Amino acid sequence: MEKEILEHGFSFNRRRFLSTMSLGLGSVALGSLLMPDLFKNTGDDDPLSAGIPHFAPKAKRVIYLFQNGAPSQQELFDYKPKLREMVGQEIPPSVRGTQRLTGMTANQESFPLVGSFVDFKQYGQAGAWISDLLPYTSKIVDDLCIVRSMYTEAINHDPALTFLQTGSQQGNRPSMGSWLSYGLGNENKNLPNFTVLLSRGVGNGQGVYSKLWSNGFLDSVHQGVQFSKGEDPVLYLRDPEGMNRHERRDMLDQLAELNDLSYKEFGDPEIAAKVKQYEMAYRMQTAVPEVMDLSKESDAIIKLYGPDCLVPGTFAANCLLARKLSENGVRFVQLYHQGWDQHGNLPFEITKQAMDVDQASAALVTDLKQRGLLDETLVIWGGEFGRTSYTQGKLTPENYGRDHHPRCFTIWMAGGGIKPGMVYGETDELGYNIAKNPVHVHDFQATVLHQLGLNHEKLTFKHLGRRYRLTDISGKVVRDIIS
Amino acid sequence: MNQKIRILAEQILVAMGIFIAFLLLFESKLMLPLWLQSAGRLHPLLLHFPIVLLVVALLMSFFENQFDAAGRLVVQQLSRTIYLTGVFLAGVTVVFGIFLSQEGGYAAEPLQGHKWTGSGLYFAGIGTYFLIYIRPISQTFARVASVFVVVGLIVTGHLGATLTHGEGYVLAPFQTKTLTTTVALEDAIVFEHVIQPILEQKCISCHNEDKQKGELLLVSQEALLKGGKSGKLFVAGNPEISLLLQRIHLPMNEKKHMPPTGKVQLTEEEKTLLALWIQAKANFKLKITDLPATDSLRLVASRLLSPATLPEERYAFEPADAQTLARLQTDYRTIAPLAVGSPAVAVNVYNQAQFSRKTLEELLEIQEQVVSLTLAKMPVTDADLDLIASFKNLRKLNLNFTEIAGTTLPKLSALPSLHTLTLTGTKVTFGQLAKNLPQLKSLKQVSVWDTDLTPQEQTKLQKLFPGISFALGFQEESAAPLQLNPPQVQNQTLVFNQKLPVKLMHPIRDVEIRYTTDGSEPDSLTSPVFKSLIITENTKLVARAFKKGWYGSSSVSFDFLKNSFQPDSLRLLYPLNRVHLAEGAHTFFDGKLGAIGANNPAWANFWAGARAQDMGVEARFDNPVTISSFGLHYMIEEDTGIFPPEWVEVWGGNDPEHVKLLMKLKPPMPAKGDSPTLKIAQGSCVPVSVKYLKIVARPLTAIPAWHRSKGNKALLLVDELFLN
């Protein structure tokens, strides 16, 4: 930002121009001989010229069903019969290794293993094991790529969530949706490119904060826009009482003239961004109510997603909205469903949580497929880390809990050129360490960007003197799961 | 070099020659100890020494004439030593090479070539050494022999490189990359295009004509059927008892596991394919499209052959002018290049109100470049298809929820590359599709969900066009019934003043809401159907939702509570708990009811709490009101120590100095294990006219002995008071 303003100043500076003429031009010419791309606009400093994929993409849009709080893989996707056999036994130190513990179990005297209270069965071509908690998901496994070998670096919710979303644990970096908005540009100019929908279940919840959909150092047009339940899904979008659309138009035109004047004077690109946002808001005034209207959805759709899909603020309703937004060209729809943090009372809470999300998640995949949109839409389902194979707190026959576990967790992806009907990666018999094909968070991010036609090493933005990427300085595309 | 050593070395040379000849003769009987395998693996390292040494020695003999006599002698001596060492090391290399070849896994043809040229080279080396240095014939002969050895080195080296790097490695950069031949799905034969390539990649290196391990050959259909030493390879139609599958599924440490340790293993997908193919009677002629659309073998095999593995599509047309593209962009029509440098563009159109035929006509300027066109929900009709047909490079056309009925679908036959057509939610008919789809030659995907097509017609379509995958989607009729969610109440608050029109609703259309007001469970037959209801007294409303094709909802109950008098001013008598302040004194008459569960915002904001001190509030009325009953709404959650008040006192009068006790309530205490509930402590008195009320509630001073916090003060949470 500061840089652009500074450069704006330079462009009016006669002395600089002349000095460039005498010595500068020669050296620039030489430089261009050495670096053929020097004069080509690579796009990484200019948000307006970015926005074209680096290569032909498989997917055009992403819907990320974030299961906030970290769902236990042992009860959902990662079948570990050995844990049931060894219930109550101490986890072998050779398995646990030097894994750092959270403050919640660090003082625990023993770490008895605990198996899933719920049974698993095999489904689909790949014979994927899915727990009985997910009856609807089990029906669509042939459309899913289940990755059981994700791992992360953080051990607590906020850093892990921030890491998955922004590629850094500390925050202040652009979110994945912002990067995609920056990299791909708008498909529909009447809706924000990156939208956020929140819901919560009855389980132990963890907060989500607007920093997770922040544009960081990118232009603020790439910020995620939260759609809330209730009468005004997008706050402050409605015209105030007494103002009609014509007056709004007039006002915006006048305002744009004034803004243009200050842009000419100061050259701050945020001014241009602001004008664009006012204009988009104006168009959103008609586009948003149309998208948010659920009254025209057919009975088949309601049965597909389940009756809750008409109750605003539920996960089911958000899945349905996500489909509508995505169908209307929103690049990145980010859902968060809170309540997956089962430190205790796991059997009860995870059952409720699974009921909240199972039908609607599966419905979303089916719905996109029947519209011929699954090919170009990447659906992602998963949390920020996994849960331990040993119990947290007291282990009783009916009840137990699981602590945070960064070493392995399960997510699934569907559509968007990801191989369907596949189970990728393996954990050890106790579900504690990865045995095969580990996928780091940065690998996952690189893969998502790749599916959208973006090279994660080239999608950069220069800020404070260095170029930043979503994948920081690592990450490689997981080619095995790309079809 | 010392004469003795040289003679010794020369003898070893001959001995090694005999040893090599022996190895070559009895190669098939060779059993190598493990450590010799490791020695064999040194072959690729060792081979560089003889190459360099031999070439250097030969070069030296070429240039020895450049020196004077003394110098020539030195050079000759030196070159002889180097040549001898070179040939010696060549021999060691050959021996190690033969060891290495025992490991198997190399392509047969170049291996044989390499073996024979390599050992031939060694013998030629001995011979030339003899004829150049020991019994020199002539310098010309020496030179010819040298050239011969160098050529032999090059040939042997090249064959060796082919073994490790594959055919054509050296020249590969010059050759234009030819793609692996891909076969169209409809022409693909399961064995030839799916099974055979697996065998070729993972099995044939050990089971070929040159190297029939286990007497098994996997090169032809006859050989496959014949099997090997251990019997037939498979029983058609019965993968469980087929030897092939047994061997590939044995644990890795099992000796008979195939492919053996150290070889590239079969992937899960490949194992599945082999099993499915045998299950399908191991038919060598079977075409993929002969199988039913939902057949596992078809699904897995077509995934393997799907065009997704093809490289990025190249377009033969020129990019459109950037200014034209910019000019055609509008807020409702997005035109985006597929990728940086790609001439192809994708067009998305939004906003029905802005759409007209002109939206498409304007695009004719870039008719060559549009490869993807999304017109979902636009009022596109059959008459517009002629325009769409002029985008001749179109690959993807999205017509979901348009007004297309399919009468002009033949127009799309002008689009030779169209592979994806979505017609979800349109009025297309089976007849139109059956008649017109054959003319769209490249079609791969069509979605026809939410059209008037019956499931039978959809199945029929899939049968008619095996090369096209139809997205049929969710069938409402075939899905099991679901349970409805309970009705909701839309009234802002459940607390009312005199009377309240109850607003019950259900988000799903045409749902019948039935209710009771006596606390009993409503049923779908006798309970009244909700239309409108006005209540005037405290009412417990229990409601359920019903609809045909759904299971009835669970019941939900709402407590409507009446409060006739709103005080004109309110004041707390004692401070509330620091963390349960809610709205202070106003909490009790703001109509906002708290809820159970600390996660709920209504928990944090609407409950006023007290523990150490009494909870007390004084209410004043500008005009006297006649009080005859009183209620206090509170929460019980014994587990967390939230208990009813020990007692509640209501004092009334015309001013604070002249009050009398109107009533004192002692609500019942919960028992151990009671689930959390909301309750009202209610009482009545002889009607009395008051302007001033003082209400005091005492938190339970000692929690009962059965509780883990026994003897402590309990927390009292109150959200609302009722005066009637």
* pLDDT at residue B585, as a whole number: 92
* pLDDT at residue B471, as a whole number: 82
* pLDDT at residue B639, as a whole number: 86
- CB–CB contact B473 A55 (8 Å): no
Q: What is the mean pLDDT of chain A?
A: 88
Question: pLDDT grade, residue A11 (50/70/90)?
Answer: low
Name the amino acid, one letter, at A207.
Answer: G
Residue B189 has pLDDT above 70, yes or no: yes
Residues of B in contact with A483 (CB under 8 A): 303, 306, 308-309
- Specify the range with the lowest mean pLDDT, choosing from A328-332, B456-460, B603-607: B603-607
Question: pLDDT grade, residue A48 (50/70/90)?
Answer: very low
Chain A residue with the nearest C-alpha to that of B337:
A52
- Specify the range with the lowest mean pLDDT, choosing from A35-39, A361-365, A368-372, B604-608: A35-39
Name the amino acid, one letter, at B286.
Answer: L
Q: What is the mean pLDDT of chain B?
A: 87
Region A241-269: mean pLDDT is 90
- CB–CB contact B450 A54 (8 Å): no
Helix (H, G, I), strand (E, B) or coil at B339: coil
Does residue A349 sit at the B interface (CB-CB below 8 Å)?
A: no
Measured in angstroms, the CA of B376 and the nearest CA of chain A are apart by 9
Name the amino acid, one letter, at B310.
Answer: L
Q: How confident is the model over B2-18, as pLDDT tens digits?
A: 788 888 888 888 888 88
- CB–CB contact A372 B351 (8 Å): no
Measured in angstroms, the CA of B508 and the nearest CA of chain A are apart by 7
- Close Cβ partners of B677 (under 8 Å, ≥ 6 residues apart): B596, B635, B636
Residues of B in contact with A68 (CB under 8 A): none
Measured in angstroms, the CA of B478 and the nearest CA of chain A are apart by 11
Question: How far apart, in whole angstroms, are the C-alpha atoms of residue A224 and residue A334?
Answer: 9
Measured in angstroms, the CA of B689 and the nearest CA of chain A are apart by 43
- The domain locations on chain A are 2-34, 61-238+286-481
Q: Is B2 exposed, middle or buried (0-12, 13-18, 19+ CB in 10 A)?
A: exposed
Contact A340, A71 (CB under 8 A): yes
- Specify the range with the lowest mean pLDDT, choosing from A172-186, A282-296, A443-457: A282-296
Question: pLDDT grade, residue B72 (50/70/90)?
Answer: confident
- Of B396, B332, B345, residue with least CA distance to A328: B332
The more confident residue out of B381 and A13 is: B381
Residue B313 sits at the vertex; the CA angle it makes with B312 and B315, to the nearest 5 degrees, is: 140
Region A220-247: mean pLDDT is 86
Q: Which run of H or E residues covers position B80?
A: helix B69-101
Is cis: bond before B667, omega within 30 of 0? no
Residue A41 has pLDDT above 70, yes or no: no
Region B322-330: mean pLDDT is 91
- Specify the range with the lowest mean pLDDT, choosing from A9-18, A269-278, B699-708: A9-18
Chain A residue with the nearest C-alpha to that of B273:
A125
Question: How far apart, in whole angstroms, are the C-alpha atoms of residue A265 and residue A254?
Answer: 17
Highest mean pLDDT among A112-121, B75-84, B194-203: A112-121
Structure tokens belonging to residue B6: 């040289």
Residue B541 has pLDDT above 50, yes or no: yes
- Specify the range with the lowest mean pLDDT, choosing from B122-131, B212-221, B314-323, B510-519: B212-221
- ipTM surpasses 0.95: no
Structure tokens belonging to residue A442: 């940065």
* pLDDT at residue B476, as a whole number: 75
Region B467-489: mean pLDDT is 85
Region B403-429: mean pLDDT is 91
For a pLDDT cut of 90, what percent of chain A falls above it? Answer: 64
Question: pLDDT grade, residue B594 (50/70/90)?
Answer: confident
Residue B107 has pLDDT above 80, yes or no: no
The tally of CA atoms less than 13 A away on the side-chain side of residue B569 is 7
Region B220-249: mean pLDDT is 86
* pLDDT at residue A4, as a whole number: 65
- CB–CB contact A125 B336 (8 Å): no
The more confident residue out of A229 and B428 is: B428
Residues of B in contact with A302 (CB under 8 A): 508
- CB–CB contact B339 A53 (8 Å): yes
The pairing of beta strand B420-422 with beta strand B396-398: parallel
* pLDDT at residue B546, as a whole number: 94
Does residue A420 sit at the B interface (CB-CB below 8 Å)?
A: yes
Residues of A in contact with B452 (CB under 8 A): none
- Specify the range with the lowest mean pLDDT, choosing from A29-38, A388-397, A451-460, B599-608: A29-38
Residue A134 has pLDDT above 90, yes or no: yes
Chain A residue with the nearest C-alpha to that of B488:
A311
- CB–CB contact A53 B303 (8 Å): no
- CB–CB contact A370 B308 (8 Å): no
CB atoms within 10 A of CB B295: 15
Residue B433 has pLDDT above 80, yes or no: yes
Q: Structurally, what CATH architecture does the domain formed by A61-238+286-481 represent? A: 3-Layer(aba) Sandwich (3.40)
What global pTM score does this model have? 0.71
* pLDDT at residue B1, as a whole number: 63
The more confident residue out of B290 and B381 is: B381
Residue B287 has pLDDT above 90, yes or no: no
- Specify the range with the lowest mean pLDDT, choosing from A125-139, B466-480, B695-709: B466-480
Mutate which: B272, B348, B475, vs A, most A CBs within 10 A: B348
Residues of A in contact with B484 (CB under 8 A): 307
Considering CB atoms only, which of B312, B447, B597 is closest to A56? B312
- CB–CB contact A142 B445 (8 Å): no
Measured in angstroms, the CA of B323 and the nearest CA of chain A are apart by 14
* pLDDT at residue A268, as a whole number: 86
Does residue A208 sit at the B interface (CB-CB below 8 Å)?
A: no
- Of B27, B136, B146, B39, residue with least CA distance to B86: B146
Question: pLDDT grade, residue A1 (50/70/90)?
Answer: low
- CB–CB contact B303 A56 (8 Å): no
Contact A471, A440 (CB under 8 A): no
Chain B residue with the nearest C-alpha to that of A306:
B482
Measured in angstroms, the CA of A136 and the nearest CA of chain B are apart by 11
Does residue A203 sit at the B interface (CB-CB below 8 Å)?
A: no
Question: pLDDT grade, residue A36 (50/70/90)?
Answer: very low
Structure-token match 């842009």, residue found: A263
How many DSSP H helices and E strands does chain B contain?
Answer: 18, 24
Does residue A185 sit at the B interface (CB-CB below 8 Å)?
A: yes
| B616, B619, B625, B629 alpha-carbon torsion, rounded to 10° | -20
Question: pLDDT grade, residue B535 (50/70/90)?
Answer: very high
Does residue A57 sit at the B interface (CB-CB below 8 Å)?
A: yes
Count CB pairs under 8 A between chains A and B: 133
Structure tokens belonging to residue A170: 């500390």
Region B239-249: mean pLDDT is 86
- Specify the range with the lowest mean pLDDT, choosing from A417-431, B297-311, B425-439: B297-311
- Specify the range with the lowest mean pLDDT, choosing from A117-131, B169-183, B245-259, B437-451: B169-183
Residues of B in contact with A304 (CB under 8 A): 474, 476, 479
Measured in angstroms, the CA of A122 and the nearest CA of chain B are apart by 15
Considering CB atoms only, which of B272, B471, B474 is closest to A300? B474
Question: How far apart, in whole angstroms, are the C-alpha atoms of residue A316 and residue A483?
Answer: 29
- CB–CB contact A302 B351 (8 Å): no
The more confident residue out of B357 and B478 is: B357
DSSP A481: G
Residue B698 has pLDDT above 80, yes or no: yes
* pLDDT at residue A42, as a whole number: 41
Question: pLDDT grade, residue B500 (50/70/90)?
Answer: very high
For a pLDDT cut of 70, what percent of chain B falls above it? Answer: 95
Structure-token match 């961004």, residue found: A273
Highest mean pLDDT among A232-241, A438-447, B172-181, B481-490: A438-447
Residue A92 has pLDDT above 50, yes or no: yes
Question: How far apart, in whole angstroms, are the C-alpha atoms of residue B546 and residue B481?
Answer: 12
Considering CB atoms only, which of A51, A187, A366 is closest to B474? A366
Helix (H, G, I), strand (E, B) or coil at B55: helix
Question: How far apart, in whole angstroms, are the C-alpha atoms of residue B363 and residue B333?
Answer: 10
- CB–CB contact A56 B376 (8 Å): no
Considering CB atoms only, which of B338, B400, B447 is closest to A56? B338
Region B412-424: mean pLDDT is 92
Residue A141 has pLDDT above 70, yes or no: yes
DSSP A442: H
Query: What is the C-alpha R_g of chain A?
Result: 25
The more confident residue out of A209 and A10 is: A209
* pLDDT at residue A87, as a whole number: 93
Residue A429 has pLDDT above 90, yes or no: yes
Region B321-339: mean pLDDT is 91
